[in-house]
Amino acid sequence: MLELADVTTRYGAVTALDAVSIHVDEGELVALVGPNGAGKTTLLNTVAGLLTPATGTISFSGERINGTEPATLVRRGLALVPEHRRIFKDLTVEENLKLAGVTVARRLRRERVDEVGSLFAVLRAKWNTNAGFLSGGEAQQLAVARALMCNPKLLLLDEPTLGLAPTLVDAIFELLVTLRSQGRTVLVVEQNAHRALEIADRGYVLRSGRLVAEGLGSDLAGDPQLFEAFLGGGL
Amino acid sequence: MTQLIQNLVDSLGLGGTYALLALGISLIFGVMHLVNFAHGELITVGAYTAYFLFSTVGGSWWWMPVAIIASCVLASVLTERIAFRWVRTANPFTMLLTSFALERLSHALWQIGVSPKAKAFPKVSWAFDTYQFGDVRIEKMDLVTIFVTALALVVTALVFKRTLFGIAVRGAAEDFDAARLMGVKANRVILGAFAYAGLLAGVAAVLILMRTPSAKPDMGSAWLLAAVIAAVIGGMGSFTGAVAGGVALGMLQTFLQSYLPEGTLSYLNDAFVFGVIAVFFVIRPQGLFDVTHAERV
Amino acid sequence: MNRSVTLRIGRSLATSAALLAVIGVLAVIYTSTGGASRHSLVDEMLVNLMLVAGMQIFVGNTGVLSFGHLAFAQIAGYSAAIAALPLASKAKVLPGLPFGLGDVHLGALGAVIAAVVVALVVGAVVGVVVARAHGLAPTMITLAVLVVVEQVVKNWKELTRGAGGLSGVPVVHGSGWLYVAAFVALLVACLFHESRIGRFAVATREDELAAPALGIRLFSARYSAWVVSIAVVGLGGAMLVLSLGSVNPKQFTLDRSILVIAMLVLGGMRTVTGAAVGTVLITAGNELFRQLGDRWKIERFSDLFLGGVLLAVMLLRPGGLLGDRDLLGYLRRRFRAPDRPAPPVPERSAALVAADIVVNFGGFRALDDAGIRVRPGEVVGLIGPNGAGKTTLFNVVTGLVDETSGSVHLGDQDLSDAMPYQVARAGLARTFQNLRLFKNLTVRENVELTSLVAWRHRTGSLPVNELLADAGLTAVADRAAGTLDYGNQRRLELARAAALSPAYLLLDEPTSGMSDAESQAMVEQVRAVAAKVGAGVLVIDHDLGFITRISDHMVVLAEGRILAEGTPAEVRANPAVAEAYLGSQA
């Protein structure tokens, strides 16, 4: 479904992503882990069209999508839940969802908002509250709900558990499992590497912009070398 | 008491017009962080449109407002397409001077294309008829101004609250990239914001021109200055703030004019207003409604 | 007088003389082929040159746009007119002149000096407000000032005779005095650009956050630029009035402000050369269009030129035609004072201690009773997962973020409530996670800037050449910092921080984005630099290879708390650390 071939992304002089090749197949849950500054967010942003790769090819459903405007990608079924959630704090929960439904046909939009809203009971309860007043967990659910508005084929999630209390972290991991069981394809970047790899079909480890390990999720999670691969270098 | 009511009516009329213009400025600032000093030129465009229509095909004030508003929307959209689109990612300094350049060009075009002198066109016959309420005399135009402004602001509030376009503009004003990730097209929402700002400026232009039916190359500048000040007082990017700032500025001007002692001071009305504003910036530089977000280091 | 000051003055003299000589030659060629109107155009250009040079001092160096400078030209212009008017005509046209000004009469020179002083007095007060404001506010304040002054002038009839203005001011004949005044204006602009405070102002323009973090006080840099620029603009206003013999509010409108700004940005506002070039080009273009307008019977055709040029520059070359290409800059690279000898490495005994730090952002607790201690000469590594609060801790220590509670001490010195520039002057130099170099300045200028801070506010400046050589940047020393590759930018940021001669270096992810080989080399560079200036180091990094190799002691931060500390080996063996990084093995 998604394939990156030798993708390199630069910010000015900085090479944030260095010839990375990964793929995500239909119906898979794939985890992308690695330390801060490894280029995980850059990878997701490049796929979602916020950044344009310097070299390499990104293809989605068989089509080359390098440098395609995010709005177009959303319409093709690729949605990103960005790092730090980026919900619209000055809009209500309902308005956040409405805005995320900008790609849905006008007559179906109302229905879609209700449909997605019904998946998240906590949001339903705060329907007309400004999103700025939501707790971290609620805000994260809203961010995911927003991405589901366009009924994406592929969902990219960037650090969905960052800054959440442990019980909420559990809820988010459950949500990921649920999404997969509904047949959605998911690529998730997660700081909680062990847990993400355990629930994932496959995993990739990124460090300093390069791919340093890949394999089945459970294999990587149990690998004693993971910590070393993560932090690089020996003593 | 009579004086007070009279002043209140006057200041609501003036402040409402400021609010319409300030709202447009704040709207554009919200989506692209540009303080648009060319915004006042839309009034000039509206005025010359009316002048041309009256002097060529003839015209009537029954349909002229539609033509004026349409010309303002068109002009506003044009500035985005020919200029602002290309400096969208530039620093504020560059964007600010781009808008100034457009303001200059507009002045020059009218001066060269038409005339540096004012061009008058037919007035609205009933504009200055008055109603008498006890001791208070109110011009018809005052009532029209207040009514139309109120209507425009209510409609705007509904647009921002209920329509997808309004929600998208508010969302984009808060976090542009996040809005793009939702599928909002950057070009479309910015162009839409310019069109809507043009619409509001068009309504303001109609109200202004019904009072003073003439076109002059630099007529937009004074209005612009007041509108920018109003938008900044309210807090750039805050839509409620723009309206509050506009009305506050209208009141400040009207009441100072009325209550300052006779003599030199009353001539210094503008100086006082701007003095008060300068002091205001010192005390509260972020405006009445703070919309700034902290920078990450 | 020391060598570097002599050189500064020499370079400024040479630059202003050269610029004015070129302008003078062009003017002579131009006037020798036409009538008297050509002389008045040259006079007007010279006056505009003074105003542009004055604007450059503030707008060009600080990057803060001002519309209000013409207000001070106006104040100066009226002051000069009132001072120079003969007593008899003064009694006639301004009978009610207040403050006993009716009895004052000065010669041309006296009038100019008085005018500049009056403009300075008013400007000094307004400047306090402008220099303190942030973002859009200073620009808006200057706009308000322009309107206020215009209204006061138009309405304070006892003093100014209102909108009609004053005439009959004794005229200073000949362009000679205008050339002298223009030379003074250019010279002051060059001297300011070369001066320490001028360099500081430039640093604040390049990065409003990095400059204070290196010991530059935003307010004093901007305020000094403002005051000096007001003096020069005042000179321009006074000369305008004395060359025409009359003054009125129409000479100082927003329109003219924009004309002057267009002149400033066309050539390139960041340099005096750019300002002068822009002045000549706009004057010539305006005149050309005016003549074309006359020929084609189009009134005010030249306004089209001004708007068009301004728009074209902003859309196509917002840095101006010349950008940073500059005669003064060329001379600075060509004639340089030798480095001052390095001061001996001081014996340092003060420890850096942050204790019980709590920081709340809204409802979110970013730091929860975190503390850290670095001893002189020691290298402490700070690690932790994403969002642990590492950078926040740096920001608290360097004064960028106010702690909710807790304290920061350097030896006996309490830095808990210190401003960033005070923290830097006390001896803490930092780098930034996302690189905050002064991008338009050269590599050498980046390092020189902090070296100047050290020379003025700390024990002494370090030799810039040596620092550049140590960082391997000698070959690229004259390139703009923004054009370097990433590794070199990181190394430059380290060298720039070291130039402060700090007691402690705080490095935020110095190897992020570097290859393994580069980050290994960084270990050596950080150690060498720290040894050279005798500094302790507190470093955040994610590369465990790098951090274990460089640190004497490591501290692990997770969720705003200190999770573990000890030697690198102890920390790596601690299972809690692995868990913090990788999540629990549920």
Tens place of pLDDT per residue across chain A (235 aa): 899 999 999 877 778 888 999 999 999 999 999 877 788 999 999 999 989 999 999 999 999 999 888 889 999 999 999 888 889 988 999 999 999 998 888 888 889 999 888 888 888 889 999 998 888 888 888 998 999 998 899 999 998 887 777 777 888 888 899 888 988 999 999 888 888 898 999 999 988 888 888 888 888 887 777 777 666 544 3
CB contacts of C212 in chain B (<8 Å) are none
CB contacts of C433 in chain B (<8 Å) are 297
B289 located within any domain: no
Helix/strand/coil for A83: coil
Phi and psi angles of residue C506, each rounded to the nearest 5 degrees, phi first: -110, 110
CB contacts of C516 in chain A (<8 Å) are 208, 232-233
Any bridge partners for residue A20, and if so which?
A7
Prediction ipTM score: 0.86
Buried b (16+ CB within 10 A) or exposed e, B81-95: eebbbebbebebbbb
Report the DSSP pairing between strands A63-64 and A78-81: unpaired
Of the listed ranges B279-293, C103-117, C158-172, C402-416, the least confidently predicted one is: B279-293
Could you tell me what percentage of chain A is helix, strand and coil, using 3-state DSSP and rounding each to the nearest 5?
40, 25, 30
CB contacts of A80 in chain B (<8 Å) are 181
Report yes or no: C361 at the A interface, CB cutoff 8 Å.
no
| Rg of chain B in Å (alpha carbons) | 19
Q: Mutation test of the interface with chain B: which of A102, A104, A146, choosing the one with the most B Cβ atoms within 10 A?
A: A102
The residue of chain B nearest to residue A82, with distances taken between CA atoms, is: B178
Check: CB of residue C365 under 8 Å from CB of residue C359.
yes
Check: CB of residue B100 under 8 Å from CB of residue C254.
no
The Cα C44–Cα B295 span in angstroms is 44
Which pLDDT score is estimated for C46? Answer: 95
B294 located within any domain: no
Q: Which of A37, A195, A233 sits opposite C544 (nearest CB)?
A: A233
Which pLDDT score is estimated for C341? Answer: 77
Contact C386 A195 (CB under 8 A): no
Closest approach of C563 to chain A, Cα-based (Å):
16
The Cα B153–Cα B155 span in angstroms is 5
Same domain, C370 and C497: yes
Helix (H) or strand (E) holding C357: strand C352-361
Domain termination site, one of C291, C306, C334: C334
Which CATH number fits the domain that encloses residue A151? 3.40.50.300
Q: Which residue has the tokens 């050498």?
A: C444
Which pLDDT score is estimated for A185? Answer: 94
Structure tokens at C324: 């940073």
CB contacts of A75 in chain B (<8 Å) are 183
C-beta atoms surrounding B69 within 10 Å = 22
Of the listed ranges B251-260, C69-78, C107-116, C127-136, the least confidently predicted one is: B251-260
pLDDT tens for residues C290-300?
889 888 887 77
Could you tell me which of A117, A111, A163 has the C-alpha nearest to residue A140?
A163
CB contacts of B169 in chain A (<8 Å) are none
Structure tokens at A77: 């079924």
Check: CB of residue C226 under 8 Å from CB of residue C130.
yes
Same domain, C96 and C239: yes
Report yes or no: A165 at the C interface, CB cutoff 8 Å.
no
List, edge to edge, every strand of the sheet that includes C553-558: C428-430, C504-508, C536-540, C379-383, C553-558, C561-566
Which pLDDT score is estimated for B291? Answer: 53
Same domain, C419 and C498: yes
C346 located within any domain: no
The Cα A149–Cα A170 span in angstroms is 23
Helix/strand/coil for B123: coil
Closest approach of A75 to chain C, Cα-based (Å):
32
Closest approach of A221 to chain B, Cα-based (Å):
31
Check: CB of residue C153 under 8 Å from CB of residue C74.
yes
Which pLDDT score is estimated for B287? Answer: 62
Contacts with C291 (C-beta within 8 Å, 6 or more apart), sequence order: none
Q: Which runs of consecutive H residues, i.e. helices, occur in C419-485?
A: 420-426, 443-457, 464-470
Q: Mutation test of the interface with chain B: which of C141, C264, C437, choosing the one with the most B Cβ atoms within 10 A?
A: C141
Which pLDDT score is estimated for B284? Answer: 67
Contact B170 A90 (CB under 8 A): yes
Could you tell me what percentage of chain B is helix, strand and coil, using 3-state DSSP and rounding each to the nearest 5?
70, 5, 25
Contact B108 C395 (CB under 8 A): no
Which pLDDT score is estimated for C422? Answer: 94
The residue of chain B nearest to residue C390, with distances taken between CA atoms, is: B297
Q: Is the dihedral of CA C5, C7, C11, C13 positive or negative?
A: positive
Same domain, C315 and C399: no
What total of structural domains would you count in chain A?
A: 1
Domain termination site, one of C304, C334, C364: C334
C374 located within any domain: yes
The model carries a pTM of 0.88
The Cα C231–Cα C72 span in angstroms is 9
Which residue has better confidence, C495 or B124? C495
Q: What angle do CA B259, B261, B265 make, to 5 degrees?
A: 105
Q: Which runs of consecutive H residues, i.e. helices, occur in B186-290?
A: 186-211, 219-234, 239-259, 264-267, 269-283
Q: Which domain holds residue A9?
A: 2-231
Check: CB of residue C536 under 8 Å from CB of residue C503.
yes
Residue B292 pLDDT grade (very low, low, confident, very high; cuts 50, 70, 90): very low
pLDDT tens for residues B183-229?
898 889 999 999 999 999 999 999 999 999 999 998 998 899 889 88
pLDDT tens for residues B23-43?
999 999 988 888 899 999 999
Report yes or no: C136 at the B interface, CB cutoff 8 Å.
yes
Contact C548 A235 (CB under 8 A): yes
Helix (H) or strand (E) holding B176: helix B176-181
Structure tokens at C355: 């204790």
Which pLDDT score is estimated for C584? Answer: 63
Same domain, C326 and C410: no
Domain termination site, one of C275, C307, C334: C334
Same domain, C323 and C361: no
Which pLDDT score is estimated for C124? Answer: 95
Structure tokens at B163: 């329509």
Which CATH number fits the domain that encloses residue C512? 3.40.50.300
Looking at residue C167, what DSSP letter applies?
A: E
Which CATH number fits the domain that encloses residue B161? 1.10.3470
Q: Which of A36, A221, A226 sits opposite C542 (nearest CB)?
A: A36
Contact B180 A71 (CB under 8 A): yes
| Mean pLDDT value of segment C473-497 | 90
Closest approach of B271 to chain C, Cα-based (Å):
4
Q: Which domain holds residue C10?
A: 3-334
Which CATH number fits the domain that encloses residue C303? 1.10.3470
Which pLDDT score is estimated for A234? Answer: 41
Contact A74 B182 (CB under 8 A): yes
Contact A14 C486 (CB under 8 A): yes
What total of structural domains would you count in chain B?
A: 1
Q: Which domain holds residue B247?
A: 2-283
pLDDT tens for residues A146-181?
999 988 999 999 988 877 777 778 888 888 998 889
The residue of chain B nearest to residue C148, with distances taken between CA atoms, is: B271
The Cα C307–Cα B105 span in angstroms is 5
pLDDT tens for residues B235-290?
877 888 899 999 998 888 888 777 766 555 555 566 666 777 767 766 666 666 65
CB burial class (10 A; 0-12, 13-18, 19+) of residue C153? buried
Phi and psi angles of residue B103, each rounded to the nearest 5 degrees, phi first: -60, -45
Looking at this protein, which amino acid is placed at residue B31?
A: V
Of the listed ranges A29-33, C53-57, C136-140, the least confidently predicted one is: C136-140
Those chains having 3 or more beta-carbon pairs within 8 angstroms of chain B are A, C
Could you tell me which of B26, B32, B35 has the C-alpha nearest to residue B237?
B26
Check: CB of residue A211 under 8 Å from CB of residue A21.
yes
C9 located within any domain: yes
CB burial class (10 A; 0-12, 13-18, 19+) of residue B295? exposed
Check: CB of residue B240 under 8 Å from CB of residue B252.
no
Contacts with C216 (C-beta within 8 Å, 6 or more apart), sequence order: C200, C203, C204, C421, C424, C449, C453
Check: CB of residue A172 under 8 Å from CB of residue A166.
no
Contact C144 B274 (CB under 8 A): yes
Check: CB of residue B247 under 8 Å from CB of residue B18.
yes
Residue C386 pLDDT more than 80?
A: no
C-beta atoms surrounding C77 within 10 Å = 32
Phi and psi angles of residue B18, each rounded to the nearest 5 degrees, phi first: -55, -45
Residue C499 pLDDT grade (very low, low, confident, very high; cuts 50, 70, 90): very high
As a whole-number percent, the residues of chain B with pLDDT over 70 amount to 89
Report yes or no: B113 at the A interface, CB cutoff 8 Å.
no
B231 located within any domain: yes
Report yes or no: C292 at the B interface, CB cutoff 8 Å.
no
C111 located within any domain: yes
**Ramachandran sector of residue C341 (left: φ over 0; alpha: ψ -120 to 50; beta: rest):** beta
**How many Å separate Cα C275 from the centre of its chain?**
16
C344 located within any domain: no
Same domain, C380 and C311: no
The Cα A178–Cα A181 span in angstroms is 5
Which pLDDT score is estimated for C59? Answer: 96
Report yes or no: A79 at the C interface, CB cutoff 8 Å.
no
Same domain, C384 and C472: yes
- Tell me the pLDDT of chain C averaged across its residues: 89
CB contacts of B183 in chain A (<8 Å) are 70-71, 74-75, 100, 102-103, 150
The Cα A175–Cα A182 span in angstroms is 11
Contact C545 A233 (CB under 8 A): yes
Contact A194 C486 (CB under 8 A): no
The residue of chain C nearest to residue B29, with distances taken between CA atoms, is: C136
Contact B180 A86 (CB under 8 A): no
pLDDT tens for residues C500-558?
999 999 999 888 777 778 888 899 999 999 998 889 999 998 777 888 899 999 999 98
Q: Which of B109, B228, B264 sits opposite C155 (nearest CB)?
A: B264
Residue C160 pLDDT grade (very low, low, confident, very high; cuts 50, 70, 90): confident
Q: Which residue has the tokens 């420890």?
A: C351
Which pLDDT score is estimated for C221? Answer: 96
Closest approach of A106 to chain C, Cα-based (Å):
37
- Tell me the pLDDT of chain B averaged across its residues: 86
B296 located within any domain: no
Of the listed ranges A88-102, B77-91, C25-39, C271-285, the least confidently predicted one is: C25-39
What total of structural domains would you count in chain C?
A: 2
Which pLDDT score is estimated for A217? Answer: 82
C148 located within any domain: yes
Could you tell me which of A153, A160, A147 has the C-alpha nearest to residue A65?
A153
The Cα C309–Cα C298 span in angstroms is 19
B255 located within any domain: yes
